[in-house]
Copies of this chain bind each other. A is one copy, B any other.
């Protein structure tokens, strides 16, 4: 009988799985294992050892790496011997070179499809609390942006003027991020995309912001202490929105609100996505692939949020696994047209194990300011 343990080799900063398993993070790579027979542990360098002892999840041993060897291979081979196991089950993103080296040394390495910890999909009340705290910081950042935009004046070329200077995406992003940093968050790529830049959902935005044109603000802070993320999006216009922008905003808002009512135990994520997409299509907003860019609604409706910003479950056409209760998911329909830009409105919803859906976002909705 070949006994396998579970193994993660990663940095806590980049691996949500490792942070979840170990209960803490470290900038450098470290090793976590669970022999599925009662022994769990982390193997730490001298640099991280004493910090790990204070921070690790209860029931987890902290072992000094010098006891096991100097290279990662040596350490893991010694560990396999100590645990008397034939090999390890590892996450999908386990580093290939190390796996090849271990296999070459006769250690079994079995890769598994995500999720490595399926239970991460269903949040504990403590996890919901941590996501909510990050979400509050994101809301504070967004309100700061609202305040800045309200303070702007509009010059003769329709540029926004703030503090006597032209307001750019970079400055607005800085104001949002500063607000969140003061609240202990790591801002990692706040989107402030004005005008046609907003038609590219992942365009962070750059350059001058203009009046009468939609500004997409997608804000996703990660707590520096807990590692849990928040995620929200609002789209606003300083001045007057055009008719098409107003209609798109209405269609997206309606899709978001409708989708939120469909989040329930037993609901099929693919079906929720379909309903949202259909609603926007019926409101006259077509989806397709243009010569240079896609247009319409061409991303998933939402995704889980926790120790990763994008995690299970996806609210997308590809996920037909019914919701079970315990999920925290974004609901973020959007419409994007290279001619005028984009509208995206994103809330965060917690579906409790007893079937109650709660919106974790507490933030105003409006188009013009």
Binding site for B on A (CB under 8 A): 13-14, 26-28, 46-51, 53, 66, 90-100, 109, 111-113, 170, 173-174, 177-178, 181-182, 184, 186-189, 200-204, 224, 289, 292-294, 298-299, 309-310, 338
Contact = CB atoms under 8 A, between A and B. Distances in A.
10 contacts: A27-B202, A47-B299, A51-B200, A94-B96, A94-B97, A97-B111, A97-B113, A178-B181, A178-B182, A186-B189
Contacts of A111: 96-97, 100
A347 B189 CA distance: 28
Nearest to A299: B47
Contacts of A174: 181-182, 184
Given A28-B310, A96-B111, 15 more contacts: A27-B202, A28-B202, A46-B293, A46-B299, A47-B294, A47-B299, A49-B293, A50-B292, A50-B338, A93-B95, A94-B95, A174-B184, A181-B187, A186-B187, A186-B188
A53 to B, nearest CB: 7
Contacts of A48: 200, 202
A70 to B, nearest CB: 8
A90 B310 CA distance: 25
Contacts of A184: 170, 174
A90 B26 CA distance: 26
A47 B310 CA distance: 15
A174 B204 CA distance: 23
A312 to B, nearest CB: 15
Contacts of A181: 174, 177-178, 181, 187
Nearest to A93: B95
Contact of A200 (B14, B50, B98, B99): B50
Given A92-B97, A188-B13, A292 B47 contact: no
A243 B113 CA distance: 57
A92 B92 contact: no
A339 to B, nearest CB: 13
Contacts of A173: 224
Nearest to A295: B46
Closest 7 CB pairs of A and B: A92-B97, A46-B294, A50-B293, A97-B111, A94-B96, A93-B95, A96-B111
A201 B45 CA distance: 11
B26 A202 contact: yes
Nearest to A90: B96
Contacts of A14: 14
Contact of A95 (B49, B92, B200, B299): B92
A329 to B, nearest CB: 17
Contacts of A94: 95-97
Contacts of A186: 186-189
A202 B51 contact: yes
A88 to B, nearest CB: 11
A115 B50 CA distance: 30
A56 to B, nearest CB: 14
A247 to B, nearest CB: 23
Nearest to A190: B224
A173 B181 CA distance: 9
A100 B95 CA distance: 12
Contacts of A338: 50
Contacts of A96: 90, 92-96, 99, 109, 111
